[in-house]
Amino acid sequence: MSDIGVSLFLASRSIRRGNRGTFVLTVMIIALVFVNLVFLPSIISGVVEIFNRQSIDYTYGNLVIEPKENDLYIDDVAALKRKIDRIPGVAGSSPHIQIGATFTYRGKAIPGTVVAFTPQYEKEVTALHTAVTSGDFLSDGDRDQIVLGVLLAGEEDESKDRIESLGGVKVGDSVLVTFTNGETRDMRVKGIIETMAVQADRQAYVTTGEMEDVLGISDQANQILVRTVEEGNEEEMKVALMSFGVQETIKTYEEKAQGFVTDAIQSFDIINAISTLVSLVIAVVVVFIVIFISTVGKRKQIGILKAIGIDERIIINSYVIQVAVIASLGTAVGLVFTALLTLYLTANPLIFPGGAVSPVLEAGQISRSIAGLFAVSLVSGYIPAWKTAQEPILDAVRG
Amino acid sequence: MIVARDLARTYMLGAVPVRALRGVSFTIEGGEFVGIMGASGSGKSTLLHAMGLLDVPTAGTIEIDGTDVLALSGREKTRFRLNRLGYVFQDYALIPELTVEENVVLPCLVRGVPREECLGLSREVLRDVGLEGRMDHRPAELSGGEQQRVAIARALVNRPAILFADEPCANLDSATSTTILDLFARLNEEFGQTIVMVTHEDWHIRYFCRVIYLRDGLVEREEPCRTKKRRRASPDRETAVDDDRLPGDV
Ligand SMILES: Nc1ncnc2c1ncn2[C@@H]1O[C@H](COP(=O)(O)OP(=O)(O)OP(=O)(O)O)[C@@H](O)[C@H]1O
Ligand SMILES: [Mg+2]
């Protein structure tokens, strides 16, 4: 039998005939540490995913084309849109005109943003039209009609509002809109949309025709949202657009959403790093104590093995193998726990400001957690075994 | 053959030196069954530990079958113990997590001998010590005498050149002691097994072919080899020595 075979033999007997309770307890602790290592990152991934989803679906599409530096508007928008739509990989595009405005309702004035688009085009890119909770979405020829985000419309009971609102605007009500260029319009509320994306829910929406009338411009836009056929290849599509002659600034939804999301993710990452560290320290301490107690209890036995003529390395390895078995079972049980928790939270998602968040398990995170747990377990199993095996034989055998 | 020259071992108890061995020299030939005797504290265990490579003497040399064993590295000593020596501790020193068979087979497996062969060898030595029926028991389920026989079987499984035994009968009643001494005598006579055994029981002397007496860490005297005939002649030994039964069949 090879040396490692002897180590395996000793380890298997020790596990089979050693203390069940300690074994199960250690496995459970490793399992819980594993859950802890995987769970928080999976929630963060869930938040990031929902954020990206909403950025794409309600705010930016996949790509946003903006005026060249020093320009206020993109000119010849109709032609540019036609050009973009012909590029392979583009599913659709929607020119936007955005401008600041003050909304007045029942004597209450709230500053905000009005976004203008052609509804028919908008449906190619965003899912705003699917988020109407009352009334209707805009139609192409609409004039003096406005769609409000639910946070802007607000609740009659202001205590239910999460941010300052108009205090419960209903479909059919009139809202006075004062644009930043001084123009004023009395507009009928056609619909209310609720997307759960904070930015989309705080804006108001009108048709391009309406906005051109207000601003006295035509065939201009200050954003063109682009929907790509595939997701995840935004960077390549950006290059594709440039190579097809789009000279304006192109940003991916991630670049647009930066600031806010990156800050949030950075904070999450710090929390996560602390939690990971604490989990691993717990794993180290527990495995160390368990193996330490186990090897100290087996001091005499280790002395006997050495006296018989068994190499220290074989003895130490038998403990390392035991720890590896514990770590394997622990991570396996931990995976089961994580799967159950994920199933539960997918059925009952956590509600975040951005929407309902389900944990997203990432293979990378899971393998990193497994690797981390194994590494700390093996080290914290090795050290006490090594230390005990260093003792002079006679001291150990005397007990 | 063991050649010990000027062996000394000084323990330090704090700042106080305890001189357990103070210059012990002797030669033990292959095939001898040697007893080491002496008062408590005379250094018997210390001497056996030194010969068994379990402890390092402060001074002197030990040669076993031509090897200067004190010059070996730690790992080489471990190998030497495994391949050449068998050691029986006073308190059995069995591994509680292993069955009788596993305890005995372990030193053989460690040598890299194929499993089947080891199982065969361990079955053989367990038969020699009369425990073939107890192979699947755990040490805790055996009597003191049975455990001591397992320890002996374990020490013998690798067919060691020398078997060391430190008071192997100290915890046993005289009937069980007799069984074990008979086993040693048979191994010595039939297989020419070299045995070095520590004891303080005078009635064990009749089993030895030579006795080394220690006193205060020095060899006090050596009694020459007794012949087999003389041992057999001793009247109170009749039953034990002439008994042809296997030692375990009590
Ligand atoms: N680890 C130790 N530290 C200090 N002194 C020791 C140690 N081991 C043995 N001694 C001392 O060395 C001397 C010889 O001890 P040893 O165990 O060899 O005696 P022994 O002949 O085997 O006695 P016994 O018949 O009681 O077993 C004793 O005085 C003992 O106190
Ligand atoms: Mg002693």
Under the banding of pLDDT at 50, 70 and 90, the label for residue B225 is low
Candidates A278, A277, A276, A305; CA nearest to A396 is: A305
For residue B67, give how far its alpha carbon lies from the nearest alpha carbon of chain A (Å).
17
Tens-place pLDDT, residues A371-399 = 988 998 888 889 988 998 999 999 888 86
Q: Which of residues 86-145 of B touch A (CB under 8 A)?
A: 87, 89, 93-98, 102, 106-107, 109-110, 112-115, 118, 138
Q: Which residue, chain included where needed, has tokens 């001898």?
A: B32
Tens-place pLDDT, residues A90-127 = 999 999 999 999 999 998 999 999 999 999 999 999 99
| A14 vs B97, B114, B138: nearest CB | B97
* Residue with CA closest to ligand 1 atom 17: B45
Under the banding of pLDDT at 50, 70 and 90, the label for residue A259 is low
SS3 string of A42-109?
HHHHHHHHHHHHHHHHHHHECEEEECCCCCCCECCHHHHHHHHHHCCCEEEEEEEEEEEEEEEECCEE
| B164 touching A (Cβ < 8 Å) | no
- Report the nearest atom of ligand 1 relative to the CA of B200: 25
The DSSP H or E segment spanning A114 is: strand A108-117
Q: Is the pLDDT of residue B250 over 50?
A: no
Q: Is the pLDDT of residue B182 over 60?
A: yes
Backbone angles phi, psi at A255, to 5 degrees: -65, -40
State the ipTM, two decimals: 0.86
SS3 string of A235-270?
HHHHHHHHHCCCCCEEEEHHHHHCCHHHHHHHHHHH
Ligand 1: which of B7, B10, B11 to mutate, most ligand atoms within 8 Å of CB?
A: B11
What's the CA gap between B210 and A164, in Å, rounded? 106
Cβ < 6 A, ligand 1 pocket:
B 11, 13, 18, 20, 38, 40-46, 200
| A1 vs B75, B89, B109: nearest CB | B109
List Cα–Cα distances, B115 to B66, B111, B136, B168, B216, in angstroms.
31, 10, 17, 29, 46
* Residue with CA closest to ligand 1 atom 31: B41
* Residue of chain A nearest B56, judged by CA positions: A392
- Find chain A residues with C-beta within 8 A of B54's C-beta: 307, 393-394, 397
| A6 vs B80, B89, B110: nearest CB | B110
DSSP letters for A115-178 = EEE-HHHHHHH--GGGGEEEE----TT--SEEEEEHHHH--SSGGG-SS---S---TT-EEEEE
For residue A42, give how far its alpha carbon lies from the nearest alpha carbon of chain B (Å).
42
For residue B55, give how far its alpha carbon lies from the nearest alpha carbon of chain A (Å).
7
Which residue type, as a one-letter code, is found at position B146?
E
Q: Is the pLDDT of residue B236 over 60?
A: no
pLDDT at position A399 is 67
DSSP secondary structure letter of residue B190: H
Those residues of chain A whose CB sits closer than 8 Å to some CB in chain B are 1-3, 5-6, 9, 13-14, 17-18, 300-301, 304-312, 314, 392-394, 397
Please tell me the distance between residue B203's alpha carbon and the centre of ligand 1 in angstroms.
23
- Report the nearest atom of ligand 1 relative to the CA of A395: 1
Q: Is the pLDDT of residue B69 over 80?
A: yes
Q: Residue A301 and residue B79: Cβ atoms within 8 Å?
A: no
Mean pLDDT score across all residues of chain A: 90
Q: Is the pLDDT of residue A4 over 50?
A: yes
Q: Tell me the two tokens of residue A117.
A: 């688009």
- Report the nearest atom of ligand 1 relative to the CA of B43: 18
* Residue of chain A nearest B49, judged by CA positions: A394
Tens-place pLDDT, residues A282-321 = 878 887 887 788 778 888 899 999 999 999 999 999 999 9
What's the CA gap between A92 and A281, in Å, rounded? 51
Please name the residues in contact with A182: beta carbons below 8 A apart, sequence gap of 6 or more.
none
Query: Angle at Cα A263 formed by Cα A359 and Cα A241, nearest 5°?
Result: 85
- Report the nearest atom of ligand 1 relative to the CA of B38: 21
Q: Residue A310 and residue B118: Cβ atoms within 8 Å?
A: no
Under the banding of pLDDT at 50, 70 and 90, the label for residue B235 is very low
Report the Cα A349 to chain-centroid distance in Å. 14
Please tell me the distance between residue B68's alpha carbon and the centre of ligand 1 in angstroms.
25
Q: Residue B78 and residue A392: Cβ atoms within 8 Å?
A: no
Candidates A207, A56, A227; CA nearest to A125 is: A227
What's the CA gap between B26 and A126, in Å, rounded? 99
* Assigned CATH for B2-223: 3.40.50.300
Tens-place pLDDT, residues A16-74 = 988 888 889 889 988 998 998 888 888 888 888 888 888 899 999 999 999 998 889 99
List Cα–Cα distances, A364 to A42, A50, A270, A324, B70, in angstroms.
11, 19, 18, 21, 54
Q: By the 8 A CB rule, do B131 and B100 touch?
A: yes
Under the banding of pLDDT at 50, 70 and 90, the label for residue B226 is low
Chain A interface mutation, best of B78, B104, B118, highest count of A Cβ atoms under 10 Å: B78
What's the CA gap between A54 and A60, in Å, rounded? 9
Backbone angles phi, psi at B39, to 5 degrees: -65, 165
SS3 string of A261-295?
HHHHHHHHHHHHHHHHHHHHHHHHHHHHHHHHHHH
* Residue of chain A nearest B86, judged by CA positions: A308
Size of interface A-B (CB pairs under 8 A): 76
Q: By the 8 A CB rule, do A317 and A3 touch?
A: yes
pLDDT at position A73 is 94
Under the banding of pLDDT at 50, 70 and 90, the label for residue A369 is confident
Ligand nearest to the CA of B16: 1
- Find chain B residues with C-beta within 8 A of A309's C-beta: 78-83, 85, 107, 110
Q: Residue A394 and residue B54: Cβ atoms within 8 Å?
A: yes
Q: By the 8 A CB rule, do A124 and A226 touch?
A: no
List Cα–Cα distances, B210 to B38, B126, B167, in angstroms.
14, 28, 16
Chain A interface mutation, best of B109, B136, B147, highest count of A Cβ atoms under 10 Å: B109
Report the Cα A35 to chain-centroid distance in Å. 18
- Report the nearest atom of ligand 1 relative to the CA of B47: 18
| A309 vs B98, B110, B113: nearest CB | B110
Please tell me the distance between residue B49's alpha carbon and the centre of ligand 2 in angstroms.
10
Q: Tell me the two tokens of residue A272.
A: 């996560």
What's the CA gap between A209 and A263, in Å, rounded? 37
Please tell me the distance between residue B166's alpha carbon and the centre of ligand 2 in angstroms.
7
CA atoms A158, A163, A168, A174: torsion sign: positive
What's the CA gap between A23 and A191, in Å, rounded? 62
* Residue with CA closest to ligand 1 atom 29: B41
